[in-house]
Amino acid sequence: MEQIYGYARVSSQMQCEDRQLIAMRDFGVQDGNIYLDKQSGKDFERVAYRRLLKKIKPGDTLVIKSIDRLGRNYGEILEQWRVITKEKQAAIVVLDIPLLDTRQKERDLTGTFIADLVLQILSYVAQTERELIRQRQAEGIAAAKARGVKFGRPPMDRPAIFPDVLAAWEQAEISAREAARRLKIDHSTFLSWVK
């Protein structure tokens, strides 16, 4: 019996997937057939996605809210599209883009060509946007550093007893762990201060 599956993905545990789930339920995907990953789309090593791929059979349909939920890497999106539509012989429906609906078996050659072309363009745009975000972030960090902005936690002030504890440690009277305990800091912090 042909099944309709849904795949949703958010990039982190903190993000909310409700928008995607509501769209899939509205389409008719049953909750038990929705697979969800809460991790980055940079690759396809995702637990729920892998389980979904094992379940999909010829004639089934995979529903996703938008193409970037499948992934953000141009080559990988195209490869997964090929795996699902050609190897698995299942259909894909991208809810945000009606042109990307492979259920229509009666599509003529022009319709198939347009769907493939749209997929390639959107996959390219998704990857390009990811690279631009990374570039903008790097440029923003460089500009902030040039203005004197410091990133990360401010360095801890060394307690007044640090010189005495350091001297005891250097004379092998106490261990590094004991020195850290006396200073009420982490062992690794003490070692970095010593360097």
For residue 94, the domain's CATH number is: 3.40.50.1390
Whether residue 42 is contained in a domain is answered as: yes
Q: Are residues 123 and 167 in the same domain?
A: no
Whether residue 157 is contained in a domain is answered as: no
pLDDT surpassing 90 at residue 106? no
Catalytic residue among 11, 66, 123, 192: 11
pLDDT for 170: 92
Say if residues 11 and 41 touch (Cβ distance below 8 Å): yes
> Active-site residue 11, yes or no?
yes
Whether residue 100 is contained in a domain is answered as: yes
Average pLDDT of the residues in 53-71: 89
- CA–CA separation, 79 vs 96, rounded Å? 20
Whether residue 89 is contained in a domain is answered as: yes
Q: Two tokens at 73? A: 């890497």
Q: Are residues 76 and 123 in the same domain?
A: yes
Q: Are residues 28 and 115 in the same domain?
A: yes
Q: Are residues 124 and 190 in the same domain?
A: no
Whether residue 28 is contained in a domain is answered as: yes
The reply to whether the predicted model has a pTM over 0.85 is no
pLDDT for 165: 92
Whether residue 185 is contained in a domain is answered as: yes
pLDDT for 42: 60
Q: Are residues 17 and 65 in the same domain?
A: yes
pLDDT for 99: 77
Q: Are residues 59 and 118 in the same domain?
A: yes
Q: Are residues 15 and 68 in the same domain?
A: yes
- For 47: left if phi > 0, alpha if psi spans -120 to 50, otherwise beta; the answer is alpha
- Round the average pLDDT of the chain to a whole number and report it: 85
Q: Are residues 106 and 55 in the same domain?
A: yes
Q: Are residues 18 and 74 in the same domain?
A: yes
pLDDT for 64: 94
Which secondary-structure segment (H or E) carries 8?
strand 4-10
Q: Are residues 101 and 188 in the same domain?
A: no
pLDDT for 120: 78
Q: Are residues 121 and 169 in the same domain?
A: no
Provide the number of structural domains found in the chain. 2
Whether residue 12 is contained in a domain is answered as: yes
Percent of the chain whose pLDDT exceeds 70: 92
pLDDT surpassing 80 at residue 185? yes
- Exposure string over 76-92, b if 16+ CB within 10 A, otherwise e: bbbebbeebbeebebbb
Whether residue 115 is contained in a domain is answered as: yes
Domain that includes residue 177, residue range:
162-194
- CA–CA separation, 60 vs 118, rounded Å? 22
Q: Are residues 182 and 96 in the same domain?
A: no
3-state helix/strand/coil string of 48-117: HHHHHHHHCCCCCEEEECCHHHHCCCHHHHHHHHHHHHHHCCCEEEECCCCCCECCCCCCCHHHHHHHHH
